[in-house]
Amino acid sequence: MPYGTVNADLMTTSDGVSSSGLYGFKNRIINGAMVIDQRNAGALQTSIGNNAFITDRFSYQRSGLGITAVFNSQQSTTAPTGYSYSAYMTATTGQTLGASGGRYMVVRHAIEGFNLADALRSQSTVTLSFYVYASNAGTYSLVFKNAAGNSSYATTYSVTASNTWQLITVTFAINTSSGTWNYTNGTGLEIFWVLDADDDVCASSNNAWVSGGTFGANGQAHGKVTTGATFYITGVQLEKGSVATSFDYRPYGTELALCQRYYQTYTQPALKGVCNSTSTAARMSMNLPVVMRSAPTASVGAMIGYDGITTIAISSVGASYLTTTAAEFDLGFASASFTNGRPCSIIQSGTASLTLNAEL
């Protein structure tokens, strides 16, 4: 194609969708195909707690006194045709919520304001699509809400057959005319797949934006969280427009980088520095491969320092400077001395030596 000409096959339609099928970031969901699992590497997680991540960007959340249900979770290879993974939950101890109690159990995905600002500001019509596979058929709830909890939209969808992959689509218009909305690096929109919720935290009416926080649809059926119940989702896509189009697969490296904006983990972090004024301490830093959403919090596991001659276990870690682009630590050593002024680096000891968290 000559320079300066327009390839008609790459033209887009009025709603921004490529007429060729080459969409490119139409999906506002990150890790919708559940291919990234930095925290757990596919391992089964048992008796998970509140805000436990199933795969990157998808977490289990619960609230309220008296939640006795117990769940295991995992990145699963049970998936519909064309997909490799799903996010899986199973109830090892069931529980049915009821009329009151303020309790809820949901799978949550949060979209950063920057990534949905155009749709939020223009109050666009959007379509959510996903595959679901559940052992208990029946009516389930979906909730869309702002982070401030003063505007929400609830609806229902039907699982018509148990243990069968089913494609669900939901179309609605965003309404930001009331409530407090974030258009930058905070939460722009939360999506809840409701496992169960007490009626007193459910919407006053469905398929409409209402004020206040909502954690379920009006009139939803309880009793889906039975002992042994399973729930899988994958192929999650939120896009502008009133039609669910084909899933927007992105390269694995691209999807990983998108997830690393919120969470990064290293078993052998690239921390390098120098032994400083005392011979049992060193300051080390690393540049981050992806700019994080905000300055992260750090968690450091077992690590060993090495100055080219001696290896010494690290006894203390202080996060000196954490920014969106770099991490710097003051490390104390348990015993023997390094040579003051000698370069120092980290070598691996155990697993999960360093995690950086800037989740929504």
Give pLDDT, residue 24. 64
Give pLDDT, residue 320. 81
Give pLDDT, residue 99. 95
Give pLDDT, residue 46. 98
Tens digits of per-residue pLDDT, 26-72?
999 999 999 999 999 999 999 999 999 999 999 999 999 999 999 99
Tens digits of per-residue pLDDT, 133-166?
999 999 999 999 999 999 999 999 999 999 999 9
* Banded pLDDT at 25 (limits 50, 70, 90): confident
Among 216, 143, 211, 214, residue whose Cα is nearest residue 180: 211
First to last CA, the chain: 43
Q: Give the lowest-confidence range in 90-99, 129-138, 212-221.
A: 212-221
Buried b / exposed e along 5-40 (16+ C-beta atoms within 10 A)? eeeeeeeeeeeebeeeeebeebbbbbbbbbbbbbbb
Give pLDDT, residue 17. 40
Tens digits of per-residue pLDDT, 305-331?
888 888 888 888 888 899 999 999 888
Q: How far is the C-alpha of 134 from the C-alpha of 106, rounded, in Å?
A: 14
Q: Are 161 and 135 in contact (CB under 8 A)?
A: no
* Banded pLDDT at 227 (limits 50, 70, 90): very high
* Banded pLDDT at 229 (limits 50, 70, 90): very high
Q: How far is the C-alpha of 225 from the C-alpha of 159, rounded, in Å?
A: 14
Region label for 16, one of left (φ > 0), alpha (ψ between -120 and 50) or beta (otherwise): left
Give pLDDT, residue 195. 98
* Banded pLDDT at 23 (limits 50, 70, 90): low
More confident residue, 93 or 334: 93
* Banded pLDDT at 348 (limits 50, 70, 90): low
Among 335, 334, 327, residue whose Cα is nearest residue 295: 327
CATH class of domain segment(s) 263-357: mainly beta
Give pLDDT, residue 344. 87
Q: What is the CATH number of domain 8-260?
A: 2.60.120.260
Tens digits of per-residue pLDDT, 238-289?
999 999 999 999 999 999 999 999 999 998 788 889 887 666 788 889 999 9
- Token code pair at residue 233: 């989702």
Per-residue pLDDT at 82 exceeds 90? yes
Query: How do the domains of the chain map onto residue ranges?
Result: 8-260, 263-357
Alpha carbon 159 to its chain's center: 24
Task: Point out which residues pair with 131 in neighbouring strands.
Answer: 167, 234
Give pLDDT, residue 15. 40
- Token code pair at residue 70: 């117990």
Output the pTM of the full model. 0.91
Q: Give the number of other Cβ atoms within 10 Å of residue 65's Cβ.
A: 7
Give pLDDT, residue 244. 98
Among 215, 222, 221, 211, residue whose Cα is nearest residue 200: 215
Per-residue pLDDT at 18 exceeds 60? no
